[in-house]
Homo-oligomer: A and B are copies of this chain.
């Protein structure tokens, strides 16, 4: 029965996406709901439906934004690393851990199976660009075929996402592991996997 409604300053659409990220970071995709987003913004539960036809389209917009932002952070991390291609790909793993722990929007959100049939063009572009960036980083390490690139990307993402999941689920809680610790371990593991002899 809170009476402080009246949220109509311009773009509710952007605010809805922002609030969706916050809820994902706090409670994960499992507890995400359009109603909770509306509550957080102190608008009615009907308001978001003016900007997104349904829940799936909202999540598709979140997916597109997450793919764009994650790609930007991966690129920045790679560029901040040494010119060594293996270090650049490993830096991407670290960026993944940091981004997903912070936002809750990892591959399970970005590539959620329920979004496959949606034909959202913006999302399609952003996810494609994200994968291309990762494949390029992998290819630079000296792989010879597209299949090798793909396997290396999958390994990198598996390690990064595995560490992220363990951290988010509290498996690291008893140790005083910070996000930076976990990210560093993901980077080190990825680095070892790319060129084992130079670990």
Interface residues in chain A, defined as those with a beta carbon under 8 Å from any beta carbon in chain B:
29-30, 107-108, 111-113, 116, 150-151, 154-155, 157-163, 165-166, 169-172, 175, 185-186, 189, 192-193, 196-197, 199
Report chain B residues within 8 Å CB of A157.
162, 166, 171
**What's the Cα separation between A187 and B116 when bound, in Å?**
30
Chain B residues whose C-beta falls within 8 Å of the C-beta of A107 in the assembled complex: 165-166, 169, 171
- List the B residue with the shortest CB-CB distance to A173: B113
Stoichiometry, copies per complex: 2
Instruction: List chain B residues, Cβ under 8 A from A192.
Output: 192-193, 196
Residues on the B chain within 8 Å of A116, using CB: 170
In the assembled complex, which residues on chain B have CB atoms less than 8 Å from the CB atom of A193?
189, 192-193
Give the residues in chain B near A154, CB-CB below 8 Å.
Answer: 163, 166, 171-172, 185
CB-based contact B171/A166 at 8 Å? no
A101–B171 alpha-carbon span in the complex (Å):
20
Find the B residue at minimum CB distance from A30: B30
Query: Is the CB–CB distance between A166 and B161 below 8 Å?
Result: yes
Q: Please, which residues of chain B bring their CB within 8 A of the CB of A111?
A: 169-171
Cα of A41 to Cα of B173 in the assembled complex, Å: 37
- Distance in angstroms from A21 CB to nearest chain B CB is 18
A-B contacts, 27 of them at CB < 8 A, read: A29-B30, A107-B169, A107-B171, A108-B169, A111-B169, A111-B171, A150-B175, A154-B166, A154-B171, A155-B189, A157-B162, A157-B166, A157-B171, A158-B159, A158-B163, A158-B189, A159-B162, A161-B162, A162-B165, A165-B165, A192-B192, A192-B193, A192-B196, A193-B193, A196-B197, A196-B199, A197-B199
Decide if A158 touches B166 in the complex (CB within 8 Å): yes
